Structure 1
Amino acid sequence: MRRTARTAALTAVLCALAAGCGIRGTAVPVDAGSAPSRASCLTRPGPATPPPNGPALTVQLLCASQLTPVVRQHAGPGAERPVDMARALLDELRRQPSSAEEATGLSTDVPQRLTVSGPRRDDPAGTLRLSTPPDELPQLGLAQIVCTFAGTAAAENRRSVLLGGPGGEAPRSYVCTDDIRAHPENLQGD
């Protein structure tokens, strides 16, 4: 009899635990952000084999839908002009994460074939032209580019980045903030 009572009690507890996760449903839609991730992103791996004489560049990679700074060694030429720095940074953003970076949950949403050039004759100073119009890029990839360029020689050390596409459209100003790093999907140009 005791055994039957214990078995029944244990069965009731297991059924209660299996019935739900403890979060009550609601009739009001709730935007609670992206789903949780098991990726740590706290361990920022360095390059496996740094190239000789390559400069260290900090780029913004994605982890759990947020931007995370990662230092990479760049094997390309030096970056004396703003457009050269933008090219070096874009090279690193386009490069797929190493296996060590992927293991910590890092990724990139910057298109592989994207290129950057300097301003046209009638552009405001500091404009960078992308081979794809900014509003046609993946939102997270655009945020990666803006927050990687911001505060560097590519953006003339400003927090804002002037970006245009290959056509004749006027460039737009994008600002990287802590909120954009946490929620890159909210990036808007002025």
Structure 2
Amino acid sequence: MLGAALAGCGIRATEVPTDFGPAPSRVPCVNSAADVAAQSGTGVPEEIYLVCGSQLVQVDRQIELAGDGAEGDPVRVAQGLLDELRKPPTESEAQAGFTSDVKGRPKVSGPRGEDPPSALRLSSPPERMSPYELAQLVCTFARSVAADRDGSVVLGGPDENSPLRRYECTEELRARPGTVPAPAETVGS
């Protein structure tokens, strides 16, 4: 009798599908003050986007750029940002749940042939990247001089035959980079 009474306690299953979004995360996704202070060394202050709790979160970094006028060169800035994205998160960032999907040694080059002047060519075609990796690149580049005036980013693969696409970093992309594709439209050469 006691077993039957206890079995009736609890939440009953429902046949109605529910979608309340992703489960809440206990990961804080916040940089500690010590981590921000450690980043304020030499270099150019920039913002990158790391993955935390299945979303993109902005992190302040200092990127090293060699040469005069490098801060205004979209290709050099994009390469510096890409190098920063592929570095492992700091110890406190890792403890806070930050990760990066950018792996390997990706390279950035400028426009080729008939490309628009703002085009960036990547050593790996964007369509071969994971959704998180592409979202990190798009949102990071969109906050820098590598972006067009409207904040969009024109990306393509390593050769002139690789299609160029104009990507946007939307709020929805930052909130759900694994399930929402980066908004893109093909750019004619």
TM-score, shorter chain, exceeding 0.5: yes
Output the CA distance in 1 between the equivalents of 2:55 and 2:139.
Answer: 11
Q: Does 1:173 align with 2:160?
A: no
Structure 2 counterpart of 1:58: 47
Find the counterpart in structure 2 of residue 73 from structure 1: 62
Q: Counterparts of 1:55 and 1:126 in 2: how far apart (Å)?
A: 21
Distance 1:165 1:32 in 2: 37
Letter in 1 for 2:95: A
Q: Does 2:109 correspond to 1:100?
A: no
- Alpha-carbon distance between aligned partners in 2 of 1:26 and 1:113, rounded to the nearest angstrom: 48
- Aligned residue number for residue 156 of structure 2: 164
Task: Give me the whole-angstrom Cα distance separating, in 2, the residues matched to 1:181 and 1:40.
Answer: 16
Find out whether 1:37 has 2:29 as its counterpart. Answer: no
Query: Which deviations, in whole Å up to 9, do the C-alpha atoms of 1:10-35 show, x marking residues without a partner?
Result: x955x666xx5x3633364x555444
Q: Which residue of 2 aligns with 1:85?
A: 77
TM normalised by structure 1 equals: 0.81
* Preserved CA contact (<8 Å) 1:129 1:164: yes
Aligned mates of 2:89, 2:146 — CA distance in 1: 22
For the Cα contact (< 8 Å) 2:89–2:100, is it kept in 1? yes
Indicate conservation of the 8 Å contact 2:65/2:77, yes or no. no
**2:132 is the alignment partner of 1:125:** no
SS at match of 1:152: coil
Larger Rg: 1
| 1:47 to 1:76, Cα distance in 2 relative to 1, 3 A | farther
Q: Which amino acid aligns with 2:15?
A: T
Aligned pair partner of 1:182 in 159, 168, 175:
175
- TM-score, reference length from structure 2: 0.81
> For residues 97 and 52 of structure 1, what CA distance do their matches in structure 2 show?
16
Aligned-residue offset at 1:73: 2.0
Name the SS of the counterpart of 2:71 in structure 1. Answer: coil
Q: CA RMSD in A?
A: 2.6
Between the two proteins, the alignment pairs up a number of residues equal to: 177
User: Aligned in 2, Cα 1:16/1:82: closer, same or farther, shift over 3 Å?
Assistant: same
**Deviation at 1:49?**
3.8
